[in-house]
Amino acid sequence: MVDNMSGDRFVEFERVQKSYDGETLVVKDLNLSMPRGEFLTMLGPSGSGKTTCLMMLAGFETATHGDIRLGGVSINNIPPHKRGIGMVFQNYALFPHMTVAENLSFPLEVRKMAKSEREEKVKRALDMVQMGAFGGRRPAQLSGGQQQRIALARALVFEAELVLMDEPLGALDKQLREHMQFEIKRIADNLGITVVYVTHDQTEALTMSDRVAVFDDGRIQQLAPPDKLYEEPENSFVAQFIGENNTLEGEVMEINGGLAVVKLDDGELIDCKPVHPSVKPGARTQVSIRPERVEYNKARLQEGVHTLKAEVLEFIYMGDIFRTRLRVAGNEDFVIKTRNAPDQDRLEPGRQIEIGWLPEDCRALDA
Amino acid sequence: MSDVTDATTGKRAPTPDDALRIADSNQGGPVLAADGRPLKRSLNRALRMQKLRALALIAPLLIFVLITFIAPIADMLFRSVENQIVSETLPETVVALSDWQPDGGELPSEKVFEALYVDIFMAQERKLHTRLGSRLNYELTGMSSLLRKSGRGVKRFDTDIYTEQFTALDPSWADPATWVAMMADKANRDALPLTARSWARWVDFLEEEGDDPAKEDVEDFLFTTLYSDLVAGNTGGATDPRIAVAADAVGGFETVSLRDQFKAVDKDWVNPEVWRTILTYSPDYTSGYFLNAVDMQQGHDGPETRPENQQIYVKLFTRTMFMSLVITGSCILLGYPVAWILANLPMRTANMLMILVLLPFWTSLLVRTSAWKVMLQQQGVINDVLVWLGLVNDSARLVMINNQFGTIVAMTHILLPFMILPMYSVMQTIPPSYMRAAKSLGATDWTAFWRVYFPQCVPGIGAGSILVFILSIGYYITPEIVGGTTGTFISNRIAYHISSSLNWGLAAALGTILLAVVLILYWAYDRIVGIDNVKLG
């Protein structure tokens, strides 16, 4: 067990299952280990089990089966108040009857800290979130963003090494959210704390995290750094959940030298990179291509790759990019995105074009 | 300020642009609308229609409240100090008595007894003397029977000798028509003031009865007043020739002492205490009811406390307060866990339990109170069970009803929903994440509850406490049924004075004090807890 104390296994889930009603599993066989100092995001649609995982880690839910370890020690039977885990709640959960300073002082008081030391730490925590002047206010007198900062400061003031955040930015408007994402990330990096962050917003997950765990149906579908998650999704759920994605369905004809040839349902052939283990000759597959990786300018297409005929259905001007909807192999929701550059064509509806891509951008996933 | 006035009353007619410019430049003064008028006035005009419509909508309720709530309270406040019955029933006596010195130890003069004779005669004709008797009996026991006896007695007074002597002097005195004619002349009325006033009251009475004053016999008391006026002299201006004749003759009249006549009816009339009571309560307004309501009375030297054995109201007020506090406290203790469970159960189960909480609301108050009587009495369910279990000896069954304990138990049960409902609705708004946050910050279950959850329940507890306390302080039916003698409230006493002793003035004074106490407590609560902190949901 001693080696578990080392940095790379600070938080560990081992074969954790959770059921509320004894009939269905909300979390199915969760295995996860986090090194100290990592910023890990649990991302997934609602009901995917991500919040349940967080609550089990915080101690508000008990695991039906399996082991949760913190710093190598199993915490299954440790009550929440002894776990020493900081937590930021979705609605901030700032105590409305206490001032900001009293809120921050609360975790220090229950730890029987001396008054002078408490004041010192509260002041430092408030300064850290740039709210030093607001100690005497009540939470109701603060804006959403300010409350968010206080909630963050309160979770950090007792120097927890692990901080859990349950959709902390869900109630903020877009601009403030983006600002706070940066802020949280900066503070977490400065303090070197370990963060488990739950969200359903993929942009948030991609911009903040060291690693993202994509949850669906009670399982981690993929656990990877953001770039890898976006560019190399391992299954069609992750491909569709992260970013925009085009899907074409077909049958694997052959796999040759790391390239698979897939016959689409209308008979056309394309080259793909086989990713999912189920991709074998004769199997059904979903092929995933990112909209910005599709090329229709013949001059830029690689020699010898398969191309597809496409008809422009709709052209949307979005400022920095153009978003064009095509009909490709019977799929009418095939989208391509092109940069708004001086030499870029504007594809008018009705035009017939040919599209293609690099084979490694086209990933054959599970059906 | 001044430059606005200048600009708007200048030679050139103001334009909207001017107004806007002025409004912009004049940040210290009133903001102007586009037509140059103050914005406030324009806004008021624009909102007037809405306000009128709103007023029309609330008018039915407003009128209803005014008539059924404000008006009775105002009437009650008035009744608690109103005391016109003495001066209305005994107008002559009150005036004649006003220069009597009650502390001199002497009886009032014969003049006062004459006035009393007139007043009581008129009162018994109008059958008002018994009402006055009951009113004065609140202040001095025995007044009721004294006045009743006197009412019967005044008709048999020996004052008929005056009648006989006057008619012997001139038989026309016996003819009421001559009295009507005599009293029609102002000069005669001025010469015979007491007679004139008494005649006027007599005529009023006869006319109310539908009788003709010119045909009814002239009563003895009028001859008595006539004699009194003539003896006093001052009859120079009279025009009726009989008056001058009689004025010369009265010196030789046989007289009768009205004091002795009254003394013969009841010797209480020569008791200065009786006269002192009449004098004390002769003004139109009195503090007597309020003094009575706090166990005091008008003594020789201003207000003084009543004798020990007559003190009851202060004790009742204190008991009412104390028991209401106990009831409120036990409602909090019993209601809090119930409200907590309701707020933390799933919606469906909570609704089921909520019906159980509300069930007593749908049961008659009398049924519930009577049920407690069945439960708590000495041969009742609880005593039976305790005896059966051997916890209580059959010969020493517990007395749990018709005392304070019974009242507290029954009223706690009856008022419990008023405590649970506001607490529940407040607790429902406290998200579970607060407790979780507290625990994640290191608080034990108890600390999290006491430091984080409980303070947020206080508005609900406050609302429930105010409801329960104010309801119980004025509760009537339950203490009446299960209170016995030691568990009754001040309201039971008020009801007694309203319906049994008919001392409405005292009942009103008690009610006024109760109202004042509630308002003071409300004010104190507002100062200490803050009424903004009270939430009903």
DSSP string computed for B22-87:
HHHH-SSS--B-TTSSBHHHHHHHHHHHHHHHHHHHHHHHHHHHIIIIIHHHHHHHHHTTB-HHHH
Average pLDDT of chain B? 87
Are A50 and A30 contacting, i.e. CB atoms less than 8 angstroms apart?
no
pLDDT at residue B8, rounded to an integer:
42
Write out pLDDT tens, residues A310-319. Answer: 999 999 999 8
Do B475 and B396 share a structural domain?
Answer: yes
User: In this structure, what are the phi and psi dihedrals at residue B124, rounded to the nearest 5 degrees?
Assistant: -70, -30
Tell me the CB-side half-sphere exposure of residue B530, using CA atoms within 13 A.
4
CB contact under 8 A, A93 and B434: yes
Give one word for A21, left, alpha or beta, with left for phi > 0 and alpha for psi -120 to 50.
alpha
The CATH code of the domain that includes B341 is 1.10.3720.10
Residue of A nearest to B436 (CA): A60
Same domain, yes or no: B346 and B485 = yes
| pLDDT of A147 | 92
Give backbone dihedrals phi and psi of A333, rounded to 5 degrees, phi first: -110, 30
pLDDT at A247 over 70: yes
The tens digit of pLDDT for each residue in A265-324 reads: 888 888 888 888 888 888 899 999 999 888 888 777 777 777 888 999 999 999 889 999
Q: Does the beta carbon of A58 lie under 8 angstroms from any beta carbon of chain B? A: yes
- Candidates B344, B361, B325, B349; CA nearest to B457 is B344
Average pLDDT over residues B527-531: 77
In a domain, A236, yes or no: no
Give the pLDDT band (50/70/90) at residue B537.
low
- The span from the CA of B21 to the CA of B4, in Å, is 11
Whether residues B227 and B273 fall in one domain:
no
CA angle A207, A164, A100 (to 5 degrees): 100
Residue B26 tokens, joined: 């004049």
DSSP state of A44: -
Q: What is the DSSP string of B94-125?
A: HHHHTT--GGG-PPPPHHHHHHHHHHHHHHHH
Q: In what order do the strands lie in the sheet with A331-339?
A: A331-339, A321-328, A308-317, A352-355
- Do B179 and B104 have their domain in common? no
A15 near A65, Cβ under 8 Å?
yes
Q: B50: which 2 tokens?
A: 């809405």
Number of folded domains in chain A?
2
- Same domain, yes or no: A250 and A161: no
Residues A212 and A337 in one domain: no
Each residue's pLDDT tens digit, B455-498: 999 888 988 998 899 999 989 989 998 888 888 899 999 999 99
pLDDT band at B10 (very low <50, low <70, confident <90, very high): very low
Report the pLDDT value the prediction gives residue B25, as an integer from 0 to 100: 55
- Residue A231 pLDDT greater than 90, yes or no: no
Averaged pLDDT for residues A162-181: 88
**A87 closest CB neighbour out of B440, B445, B452:** B440
Q: What's the CA angle centered on A152, arms A138 and A204, to 5 degrees?
A: 125
Residues A156 and A190 in one domain: yes
- Residue A53 domain boundaries: 2-231
**Are residues A206 and A303 both part of a single domain?**
no
Both A150 and A109 in one domain: the answer is yes
Write the burial class of residue B59 (CB in 10 Å: 0-12 exposed, 13-18 middle, 19+ buried).
exposed
Same domain assignment for residues A158 and A97: yes
Q: How many CB atoms lie within 10 A of CB B16?
A: 12
Structure confidence at residue B26 as a pLDDT band (50, 70, 90): low
How far is A139 from chain B, CA to nearest CA, in Å? 13
A93 lies within 8 A of chain B by CB: yes
Same domain, A97 and A59: yes
Which of A61, A6, A1, A67 minimizes the C-alpha distance to A34? A6
- End-to-end CA gap in chain B: 47
> Residue A108 above 90 pLDDT?
yes
Interface A-B: count of C-beta contacts within 8 A: 67
Angle at B156 between CA B155 and CA B162, to 5 degrees: 90
How many structural domains are present in chain B? 4
Q: Of the ranges B228-232, B336-340, B368-372, which is most confident? A: B336-340
pLDDT digits (tens, 9 = 90+) for B87-128: 999 999 999 988 888 877 788 888 899 999 999 999 999 999
The answer to whether position A72 is within a domain reads yes
Q: Which two tokens mark B91? A: 């107008």
Q: Parallel, antiparallel, or unpaired for β A194-199 and A39-43?
A: parallel
B263 and B386, same domain (yes or no): no
Mark which of A178, A205, A231 sits at the end of a domain.
Answer: A231
Same domain, B149 and B263: yes
Residue A165's pLDDT band, with cuts at 50, 70 and 90, is: very high
Range of the domain at B244: 160-252
Q: Do A219 and A260 share a structural domain? A: no
In B115-185, at which residue ranges do the beta strands (DSSP E only) sit? none
In a domain, B307, yes or no: no
Question: What pLDDT is stored for residue B22 in this prediction?
Answer: 55
Boundary (domain end) residue, out of A185, A210, A231: A231
Contact by Cβ (8 Å): A92, A67: no
| Any domain includes A269 | yes
Residues B246 and B326 in one domain: no
Question: Which of B440, B453, B529 would best serve as a mutation to test chain A binding (most A beta carbons within 10 A)?
Answer: B440
Residues B442, A110: C-beta atoms closer than 8 Å: yes
Tokens, residue A336? 């391509």
Residue A1 has a pLDDT of: 37
Would the pLDDT of B82 be above 60? yes
- Residues 451 through 470 of chain B touching chain A, CB cutoff 8 Å: 451-452, 455-456
| In-domain check, residue B204 | yes
Which domain-ending residue is among A169, A203, A231? A231
Per the CB < 8 Å rule, is B442 touching A158? yes
Give the residue from A123, A197, A139 showing the smallest Cα distance to A166: A197
**CA-based angle B464:B466:B472, to the nearest 5?**
100
Helices A115-128, A100-110: axis angle to 10 degrees equals 130
Domain assignment of residue B308, yes or no: no
Q: With a cut of 90, say whether residue B358 has pLDDT above it.
A: no
Q: In this predicted model, what pLDDT tens digit does every residue of B198-222 receive, in sequence order?
A: 999 999 999 999 988 888 888 899 9
pLDDT 10s digits, B262-305: 999 998 998 888 998 898 888 889 888 898 888 888 777 778 88
CB-based contact B441 A154, cutoff 8 Å: yes
Does any domain span residue A67? yes
Q: Are B451 and B458 in contact (CB under 8 A)?
A: no
Average pLDDT (A254-264) is 85
* Residue B20 confidence (pLDDT): 55
User: Which of B430, B433, B439, B441 has the most A C-beta neighbours within 10 Å, making it the best mutation to test the interface with A?
Assistant: B441
Residue B209 lies in a domain: yes
Judge whether A237 lies within some domain: no
| Alpha-carbon separation of residue B182 from B127, B243, B248 (angstroms) | 28, 10, 18
Residue B28 has pLDDT above 70, yes or no: no
Strands (DSSP E) along B254-380, which ranges? 296-299, 302-305
Min Cα separation B31/chain A (Å): 29
Cβ pair B442:A84 closer than 8 A: yes
In a shared domain, residues A266 and A225: no
Closest CB to B439 among A81, A97, A111: A81
pLDDT band at A7 (very low <50, low <70, confident <90, very high): low
CA distance A330 to A268: 11
B285 domain-assigned = no
Q: Is residue B525 part of a domain?
A: yes
